[in-house]
A and B are shown apart, each in its own frame.
Chain A
Amino acid sequence: MDNALVTVLIAMLGGAIRVSTPFMFVALGETLTEKSGRINLGLEGNLVLGAMVAYAVSYLSGNAWLGVLAAGGSGLFLGALHGYICKLPRVNDIAVGIAMMSFGTGLAFFFGKPFIQPTAPRLDAIPLGDWTGNPALAQALQVNPLFFVGIALAVFMFWAFRNTRWGLIVRMTGDSAASAKAMGVSVDLVRFLATAAGGFLAGIGGAFLSLYYPGSWNQGLSSGQGLMAVALVIFARWDPIKCIFAALLFGAAGALGPSLQSIGISQGYYFFNAAPYILTLIIMIISAGSKAAARDVPGELSITK
């Protein structure tokens, strides 16, 4: 049983590292957007379009990193479009987000058709666990560079929201548009830039899906991960560092179902496969009730108004 437990723990570690990155990027992008006082529910569209564009560009150019960049570009485009439409008077950002989600996935399915069959160059992993001499652990510690980029970005965002002029401006627009205006800040411009940058990050998350793990482009690739990541932002109380932990937890919980079956605990796999969602709900219920939690919400968010 000890051995089996170790197997499950290693699988969860591996799952956390492999599965979490797209959640991380989408959640960080959404955090930035929501901190500026706007919600972009359409990041699922950015994720899927990013995955498709990354795969297509990597296939056509032969360079996977160029694919990552192009995916970011496609996300930037969708984010900017969302940001621009929401600047128009009497536009509801949630409704636009849902439209952008359909638009992004639709574009991806339409242009992605010819890229389902071919095999594109993928991103490489850094083998960090070879020294352990344990093949399972070595496999779990195959880490893609984007994972570290995500963590570094979260730390940077955490610091920047507190210590830089730009960070403070974004937070101010999110908490009180009136104060921002009084300071002479263009609320619309800040939100436009924050939405576009958030879209860029979500596009990168999509590139990870198609170019690293699971590492192929097809229409069922995301299966709602972009939506889940937006929910993780609320779960993480708009804190970039907590976004990382939320994404890791979600990835680890997702590995639970398959790995329990692999060690022979095969009863009730439907329940274990639902573990990430159950876990998220439970933590949400526990954490969302407190007064402190209410203080974390950006004041201008349309869901809380």
Chain B
Amino acid sequence: MTLTAISRRRLLKVGAAGLAASALPFGIARAQTNVVLGIVYVGPKDDFGWNQAHAVSVESLKALPGITVVEEENVPETDAVAKSMESMINLDGANLILATSFGYYNPFVVELAKKYPDVTFRHAAPLWNKDKDPANAGSYFPYLNQAHYVNGVAAGLSSGGKIGFVAAKPIPSVLSNINSALLGARSVNPNATVQVIFTGEWSLPVREAEATNALVDAGCEVITCHVDSPKVVIETAEGRGVKTAGHNASQAPLAPKGFITGAEYKWETIYKSYADDIAAGKTPPNFLVGGYNNDMLRNTPYGAGATPEAIAAADAAIAALVAGAPIYKGTLKDNAGNVVVDKDYDNYDPYLDGMNWLLEGVQGSIT
């Protein structure tokens, strides 16, 4: 870690800023702050997945006045991200940094936020801790599991109820998507099951294809996933003639025959609100979570795989979520037989953030 070292670039920048400042007459009051938004992606921004969802949202901001967007893709979760963010701050004058990958947060975002207290840092996972972390850092995270619940409802009625789930890593947000897909499917089909295969990595195309094949061989009728780039999973499943439900961004064009619907983020709601706050001189909220109830999610328009009953039920499920209906309703057991949900939990209850179980009806194990 060389976060404290003064780089040559930084030295030049400080010198240049000093020159520029001395050349300007003082006392000009500006009504609005221009927003320079720096965003870092862990992969390519057209990956049919996580990164594309962010990039599409940022693209929609570029047309707005007073916003400049600086993007960098394929930044690994290493020291490289600290360098990228620092160069956005020093060279491009970014005053809002969006770090979009889970592993960027600690130590990179935390350390840089301490070093640049005037820059607003926001990170796309619910990791910010108000007691430990700098006040100019923060987290935002839509609860995609609500849209996976809708996927489950539609999948449960578009098939016999055997759903296969290709998952990357057993972290709480992934587990919640799996459990919610099950609960959605069970809400319309009490015999529905979800079979999960963990690949262990966010992007590993060959193993994702293998996992998809294994699930289809095991009899799954609908395949969905939580990996960074669902392209391979959806295309492999379509090639095997089973139905699919998407994740992160729209994969509808990849599966013209079997696509049902997909869980998608609506990042633009969040990014727009951040930009508005900064332009108005306000501090954006440090911790911003949401879902269907505050317009942070959507489901992909229904594809050829969705039956009319499935569409009706999924639309009803979305309406209920918009009204705040809970997904985790007691009593529920995990697949080892322990009671893990003993009452109705609000969709944003902190208890659910620490999820480390798979519900009864999910075939799979998190270790």
Q: Residues on A close to B: CB < 8 A?
A: 7, 10-11, 14-15, 18-19, 109, 113, 116-117, 119, 136, 139, 209, 213-216, 218-221, 223, 225, 254-255, 257-259, 261-264, 266-270, 273
Digit string of B80-101 for contact with A (CB within 8 Å is 1, else 0)? 0000000000000000000000
Write the B235-250 contact mask toward A (1 if CB under 8 angstroms, else 0): 1100110000000000
Residues on B with beta carbons closer than 8 Å to the beta carbon of A119? 235, 253-254
A139-B217, A261-B364, A269-B198 known; A220 and B43 CB under 8 Å? Answer: yes
- Tell whether, in the assembled complex, residue B210 and residue A215 are in contact, meaning their CB atoms are under 8 Å apart: no
Is B200 located at the chain interface by the 8 A CB criterion? Answer: yes
Please give, as numbers and ranges, the residues of chain B lying within 8 Å of A116 by CB-CB distance.
Answer: 44, 46-48
Residues of B within 8 A of A19 (CB): 206, 210
Q: Nearest B residue to A223 by beta-carbon distance?
A: B204
Closest chain B residue, CB of each to CB of A268:
B367
Is B312 in contact with chain A by the CB < 8 A criterion? Answer: no
Query: With A117-B48, A220-B229 given, is the CB distance from A262 to B217 under 8 Å?
Result: yes
CA A15 – CA B210 in complex, angstroms? 7
Asked if A214 and B205 make an inter-chain contact with CB atoms under 8 angstroms apart, the answer reads yes
Interface string of B293-320 (1 = CB under 8 A from A): 0000000000000000000000000000
Instruction: With both chains docked as a complex, state the minimum distance between the C-beta of A42 and any C-beta of chain B, in angstroms.
Output: 20
Whether B197 pairs with A258 at a CB distance below 8 angstroms is yes
Cβ-defined contact, B210 with A218, below 8 A = no
CA distance A209 to B231 in the complex (A): 14
A146 to chain B, nearest CB (A): 15
Cβ of B339 within 8 Å of any chain A Cβ, yes or no, is no
Q: Are A266 and B364 also in contact (CB < 8 A) when A258-B197, A261-B214, A273-B207 are?
A: yes
Q: How many A-B residue pairs have CB under 8 A?
A: 119
Closest 6 CB pairs of A and B: A266-B365, A214-B209, A262-B214, A258-B211, A220-B203, A258-B214
Q: Nearest Cβ in chain B — how far from A189, in angstroms?
A: 37
Residues A254 and B206 in contact in the complex (CB < 8 Å), given A215-B235, A261-B198, A273-B199:
yes
Question: Given A19-B206, A258-B214, A216 and B235 touching (CB < 8 A)?
Answer: yes
Report Cα–Cα, A19/B208, bound state, in Å. 12
Chain B, residues 43-55, CB within 8 Å of chain A (1/0): the string is 1101110000000
A/B interface sample: 29 pairs, CB < 8 A: A10-B217, A11-B214, A14-B213, A19-B206, A109-B74, A116-B46, A119-B254, A139-B213, A139-B240, A213-B209, A214-B209, A214-B232, A214-B235, A214-B236, A215-B209, A215-B232, A218-B44, A218-B47, A218-B205, A220-B229, A225-B206, A255-B214, A257-B207, A261-B211, A263-B218, A266-B364, A269-B365, A273-B200, A273-B207
Distance to closest chain A CB from B308 (angstroms): 28
Contacts of A15 in B (CB 8 A): 210
Most buried by A among B43, B231, B253: B231
List residues of chain B with CB within 8 A of the CB of A117: 46, 48
Q: A18-B209, A257-B210, A259-B214 are in contact. List 13 more A-B contacts (CB 8 A).
A: A19-B210, A117-B48, A119-B235, A119-B253, A214-B232, A215-B239, A218-B205, A219-B43, A261-B196, A263-B218, A266-B365, A267-B365, A269-B365
A263 to B229, CA, bound (A): 25
Cβ of A257: which chain B residues have Cβ within 8 Å of it? 199-200, 207, 210
**Which residues of the partner chain A approach B260 to less than 8 Å between Cβ atoms?**
none
Instruction: Kindly state whether residue B176 has any CB partner on chain A within 8 Å.
Output: no
Closest to A112 in B: B44
B235 partner residues in chain A, CB cutoff 8 A = 119, 214-216
Q: What is the CA–CA distance of A209 and B210 in the complex, to the nearest angstrom? A: 13
- Known: A11-B217, A139-B240, A218-B47. Contact between A261 and B206, CB under 8 A? no
- Whole-angstrom CA separation of A116 from B365 in the bound complex: 33
Quick check: B195 and A262 within 8 Å, CB to CB? yes
B164: nearest residue on chain A (CB-CB)?
Answer: A262
- Give the distance in Å from the alpha carbon of A116 to the alpha carbon of B46 in the complex: 7
Quick check: A262 and B229 within 8 Å, CB to CB? Answer: no
Check A254/B205 contact, CB under 8 A, given A117-B48, A262-B218: no
Give the shortest distance, in Å, between B134 (CB) and chain A (any CB): 32
The answer to whether A216 touches B231, judged by C-beta atoms less than 8 angstroms apart, is yes
A107-B323 Cα distance, complex, nearest whole Å:
50
